[in-house]
Each structure stands twice: as structure tokens, then as C-alpha cells.
Structure 1
């Protein structure tokens, strides 16, 4: 018979959730899931078009954030982003044709997580878009994330598609990604965990603040860049200038690292959360002990700070999978590392510190690599336990950008996951395992 330890080595996408492989102890299962998460060793090893590296990718496929939904369920900015992705990839000649082809299924929609990937906001992937390839060298699985489009508020992942968005996406495809990919390959891959750990000590939480991590990454690829200049590789200067002025560049690397880390958590019987994401419809989570099943709830609870000229009634939900960072003990779970975020997303240092401390009440352990200087280098709270969320009524907190109903980013803030998805997950856990 397959044992719990044997099954724990199987990637989430092929695990069936067999009850027979469980030894009956939720605590032992959670210990193992936490150990696997804590021991993860993510390395970025390459940059390739999605069609070349995402498992089962097809040229007529557009990926988006959140639990899978039919085309008709997508509304607002997430729907607009899907249409924009189809137009960018040349899957339709115009908006009306794209809508018709989504409706008849000739353009397919997929969920990023089903392809070992994560997407920021609407999370759009098309076949030609370059992705970071991140290997978890401890457990052998791979995670992916696409590229940051740049600091212009109107971006495809924020539900916008126009000539400027198209040009920036083409620039990523033809200039930025080839140079960054070549630099990574020349380095033989780059370890991301120590870089993230150092960035936390320098004022990042690697979700809403990535300034230090982006600088550290630029420094890491500098030897390759200098060699590439000598070899007359095209686009190097342009790429490095882009990286130098975009503090959010590293977010996509932290997301891919978190995805590769969290996917290794699969352990029968565990009540630890292995993914958190949302769509235009609502928020959803996965449990490490329940395989690929999503458990949905209403949209998240939010509070934040809006850019000048915008109001609360403009805020809309169009997806987001960057909370994979909080899933592994970063982002809102390391908020006390990044007190300067108060200027960006509101709040106060006191509130941020208390909010971060609160997360220890709902997590299984403390990360041995990611540490918070303000707390005496205590490890970040890591491994959200769905049972503790319900027992304490403390909801996981996440740092996010806020999207507007007309597209684009209009602010930033914090969200909390809704209670309902944790309750639904534990109900299913009780049915499958007989306890929770």
C-alpha cells in the first residue's frame, strides 16, 4: 500500500487524495506539510514561452486567475483581460470575434494553478508570453510566473488592452525576456530563497514591496550582463534600464518561488492551506490534504489607500494569485518587515505590526529562513491552518493592489480571506477523513 510519506513526494497535480494513504493523524500530516514547505529550495533556472514549458499548454489557451469558471461567469476587468489576451495572441481579429470564440470554446480558458503557474491580478497567460521557470530543488517540482508588464497603471493584468499595452507586452516578449533568460542561464540558475530572506531584512515583504529584492536580483545577474555586453547581445542596456526603474520586477519571481514551494505541501490529512487566490466571483483556497479541490467564498474583505482622483465605489475584483506569497509566509505575513508600505497602502506602523503578530495565531509554525528583524528575527508565521482560522476567527491578511472598474490600478491595501472558504474546506476534510 502507498504510505503517507510516499504520497507526499507526488506533485499536487497528479495526487488523487487517497484516504488509504493517511495514517489518521492530522497533526502528523500538518507537521509533514509544514516541513515540506519550510524545506523548499526554489531556483529560477530559465525563461521560456508558456507554450514550451507549461504542462499541456495549447496555442488556443488563455490562462487566468482563480478557481476554474466557465466563460459566462467572467465579468468586468477579468473578462476584459481575457479578451485582451486573445487579441494580443492573435486568436481573434477583434473584440466581437474573441467573445464569440470564447463562447463556442474555440478559444479555451484555463486556471493558472492547473498549469503549475500563478498570475498577478487577472493573471493572463497566452502561448507566446515568457514565463520564469522555477525549480524546487528539494522536491523536484516546478512553478511558473509570467513577467511584470511595467509600472504604467494600465496593464493587461489590470483589465486593460490598447495599443500601449500591446506594445509593452511585445517589448517583454522580444527584448526583456530574452535578455533576462540568457542572464539566468549563464548564471546556471539563481537561488531565490536566500535572496528573499535578505530582502526581508532590507525592508521588503516581497509582495507589495519588492524594491530590495529587485536590486538584489539585478546585482546577481550583473556578471552575466557584463559578459553579454562584451558578446554584443542585443537589448542588454535597454533591459537593465527597465529593471533599474521597476521596483516590482521581482514580484513575479517571488510568486513563482512561492508556487514551487507550496505545491510540495501535498500530504494526506493535512489542514494547512496550499493555495489562496481570487477571481471576479470570489475568494478560494486549497488544502494540502485535499489535492486540487478549490473551496470558494465571497470576495475578500478590504481596506486600503486610493490614488488621487479615485473613490471606494470604483474598486472591483478581477482576480489575483499573488496571495501565494502569503501562503508560504511572505507578504502580509511579513508585513512588519516593510513598514514603509503604510505610505503606499495606508495604515500605521502599529497596525501593521499587530496585524503581523496576529498571523502567528493561525499558522502551524515559523519559517526557518524568512525572518522578521523587528520581532527579534523570529521566523515569519507560516502554514495557515484552516482549523485555527475558524477557532480564532482571525482571517489571513494579504497585501494587494486595488483595481478599478474601468481597468488599471487605482490604489493598494490589504485584504482578508473570507471565513466561508475555510469552513467549506474543513467540511470536505471531515467527510473525506472522518475528522478535522
Structure 2
């Protein structure tokens, strides 16, 4: 019996089938242009298989717990005039509108200027210090701006050698600092978060057993959240865990009512715990020679960057893309800034856009259809080293979410990671204009592959024959 395997054009397979021959179609594509030699080099690297197994196991072995809430000046050592931002390194001269707006709001919040717009000249002159959140074991959604007086979630893992990660508190939706807004309502909210919300959460967290954030992620993925743009179940579970300690914390009852109202009415509140939980797990997989596993994807509104386990702290960057999706009110594509934020750390860990099959309702926010969501999760498995048995998807027979993005698989299949994201207005001060889907610029993966191949050749040259 003749059996033909066909790849490429369907016309050829159909012609053979018309002759009563059994045909198996294979979805094959040529690798990304210019990557063939580097793919061959990395494929023969004797460290690669074991290194990737080690990296994936280290990532999967982390249990992230919320252990404290404290000001950034205390836990990150930020001083007056020192600001963190989302994405790879960038200066004021290339900063996007929403990043500039977020920095201006933070400068006014810190009392460095009376009018946020007066901060622009100080940033332009180099009077203030800018660094990526990732360089301080932190992550920030959208603009990701962190200043000394902002309160931070502190996550830790007992098995991670004392490793900790950090993220600011979530402001809610609409006109907020992380979307580049800086009017009086933004500053008033930030001051309330500094004076009331942060201290109340600190009392609650310090007055109870640590909150198992990884465990909450496990449950929320089975309750219709994908932990990037849908966090309703996660937020309510967090509030459930903290409520007894909040009530017994001694916080003024009027302030306590505000705290409950704010968290309960902010479906995205848990996002700022999901993100550092993902970073904590991915940081455990860093710095393993030979590993091709991606450990960070981040955007600053101008550049999209990735970091890879086997290449240390190097960033591989390309131009951030404008998401495609749904817009608020009268806003349209011309109003949207290119992709921004550290929240793609969720996709790097296998949730968010990688787990859309578990949250079909997300398509009403970011666009597409339910079949698209299911297909996206299946497609992401093709570029990952494995799956996460703790984070499973009921509709896919409780299959674990795809985990461990592999640079070589991305280059070989040309399938790019899918990210679902909010969209910030291009002009500073606008706020959120929509939400949608986006992928990294394709060139960042061949660049990372080239560096991996270079390191592999260097090791081979120094290894005795």
C-alpha cells in the first residue's frame, strides 16, 4: 500500500489523493531567513538538551508566595529622582508618549515638580535616572513606571535560594499612570494608594500566612481567567485570602471600606501578582549555558526585547508593533501606541495569550473568536519545550499550558509568540484606548539564535578534543 507524506502546497496532495493514494499532510515551513546555519550549530550543541531540561524544570519547580508589601525605596533601594520603567533600556529621547506620561506623573507624585509637564525638561536634561524594572528583579505593566514612594508586592519562593521579585500595586483601568495619564485624578489616586492602600495591605500580608500566588493561578486558569487581561477570579480569591487579616489589622473602618471597594471593583488587581510570580519562576531558569529558553519578553513602547537563559543579561530588540484589536469609544488604530509593558512575562511563562483557550470570554476584550483562542493555545505548544502540569486548561482535557518558549523552535517554525495586551494612547496623557493581540518583531529571535550559536562555537573551540 502506497502512503505519501506531503508538505507545502495542497494542490500536490490533492492530486495524489485523486489517484486513490493515502496522503498525510504535514504543516511545514522553511525556517526564518538566514537562520539555517545557526540552527544547525545550536542543534549540535552538546549542552542544549540537558540545559533546556534543567531550565524548564527550574521554572516549573517554583512556588511564588506573597510575603510582603513595602515601598520601593525600601525593597528596591530607589532614591529620589530614580525611576524604573517597563521593557529593555531606553532614554527619554526615544521614550514613547505613554512612557513619558507615566514618568511625568511619577515625578509630580514624588514632589519633584508641581506640574507634571514641567518634568519633561528635567528628564530631557538627564537630571533623573531611568532603568528597566527587569534589572531590579521587578516587573511593571504598561509603562511600568516605579518611583521610590510607590508600594510594591514582594514575592518569594522558599526553594529559590532567597530569590525575590517585585511589582507595583494595580491602579485600575482608564486614565491611570501606567497608560501614560498624569492629570489630578491620577495623582490623587496614587497618593491614596501610598497613604492608605499600601500600609493596609502591608498589615494584612504581615498578619497572615504567605499567600500562595502560584496556587491561585492554578485555580483561576480553571475559572475562566488567563491571568493577563482577565483576572477577575484571581482578584476575588486574593481578596478572600486577605480579608480576615485586613479586618483584624486595626485600619480605620472608613479606610478599610475604601480598600475593599477599590480591590473588589478592580478586576485587574491580581495582574500585578501574576506578573512577579511569572518572573520569579522564569528567573530560576536564567543563566544556564546552552539553554535556548526565553526567560523574558518586555516592551517599552518603542522597542520589544527578549532575554534568553543561555545568553545572560543580553537584550535582543526590535521595533514594538501596534496591537490589532478592539478600541474604546471613538479611538482607532491611529491613536494607539506600539506595544508596551512588562506584562508579556505572563506569556513568557505560558499564560496570558498562550492560555486563551482557558478564557474564551477574553475574545470580547481583545478581538478574535473562541475557535481562534483554542487554536492559539494549540499553536503555542509548537514553539515550547514542554507544558506546565500545575496550570492546566479544562477544555483541552486539562492539558498543561505551553511552557518554555524555545528560540530554535520559533526560528524553525516561524511561529511567533502571541500576546494579548491593553493599548495605551500614543499621546502622553491619553490613557487606555483599547486592547488587542500582538506578536514580537520576528528579528529578535534570529538575533538571539545567532548569539547562542556564537557561544556554542566558542565553547567548542575551548573544549579539548
Task: Mark yes or no: TM-score above 0.5.
Answer: yes
Structure 1 runs not aligned, ≥5 long: 1-22
Matched, 1:429 2:452: yes
Indicate conservation of the 8 Å contact 2:339/2:438, yes or no.
Answer: no
**Divergent runs of 4+, >3 A:** 93-97, 231-234
1:330 is matched with which residue? 351
Indicate conservation of the 8 Å contact 1:301/1:416, yes or no.
Answer: no
Indicate conservation of the 8 Å contact 2:322/2:339, yes or no.
Answer: no
Give the Cα separation in 2 of the matches to 1:96 and 1:401: 24
2:290 is matched with which residue? 269
SS in 2 for 1:193: helix
Deviates more, 1:234-243 or 1:117-126: 234-243
Give the Cα separation in 1 of the matches to 2:104 and 2:261: 31
Alignment map for 1:147-162 (pairs within 5 Å): 147-151=169-173, 153-162=174-183
Alignment map for 1:179-258 (pairs within 5 Å): 179-228=200-249, 235-258=255-278
1:16 is matched with which residue? none
1:73 maps to which of 74, 88, 94 = 94
Indicate conservation of the 8 Å contact 1:76/1:318, yes or no.
Answer: no
2:105 is matched with which residue? 84
Indicate conservation of the 8 Å contact 1:130/1:177, yes or no.
Answer: yes
2:27 is matched with which residue? none
Indicate conservation of the 8 Å contact 2:104/2:117, yes or no.
Answer: no
Q: How many residue pairs were aligned?
A: 411
Indicate conservation of the 8 Å contact 2:238/2:270, yes or no.
Answer: yes
Matched, 1:386 2:407: yes
1:417 maps to which of 432, 436, 440 = 440
2:308 is matched with which residue? 287
Matched, 1:43 2:65: yes
1:346 is matched with which residue? 367
What is the CA distance between 1:137 and its match in structure 2?
Answer: 2.2
Cα RMSD, aligned residues only? 1.7
Give the Cα separation in 1 of the matches to 2:422 and 2:89: 22
1:12 is matched with which residue? none
1:137 is matched with which residue? 158
SS in 2 for 1:300: coil
What is the CA distance between 1:293 and its match in structure 2?
Answer: 0.9
SS in 2 for 1:293: coil
1:100 is matched with which residue? 121
Indicate conservation of the 8 Å contact 2:226/2:351, yes or no.
Answer: yes
**Greater Rg, structure 1 or structure 2?**
2
Indicate conservation of the 8 Å contact 2:70/2:202, yes or no.
Answer: yes
Give the Cα separation in 1 of the matches to 2:252 and 2:101: 40
Deviates more, 1:90-99 or 1:106-115: 90-99
1:31 is matched with which residue? 53
SS in 1 for 2:350: coil
Q: TM-score, normalised by structure 2?
A: 0.85
Indicate conservation of the 8 Å contact 1:65/1:124, yes or no.
Answer: yes
Indicate conservation of the 8 Å contact 1:131/1:147, yes or no.
Answer: yes
Q: TM-score, normalised by structure 1?
A: 0.91
1:15 is matched with which residue? none
Give the Cα separation in 2 of the matches to 1:185 and 1:122: 29
1:401 is matched with which residue? 422
Give the Cα separation in 1 of the matches to 2:337 and 2:167: 23
Q: Deviations over 1:124-165 (max 9, x none)?
A: 1000000000012221311100011123x1111111101110
Q: Deviations over 1:257-307 (max 9, x none)?
A: 111111111112111000001112221100011111110012136321112
Give the Cα separation in 1 of the matches to 2:237 and 2:218: 11
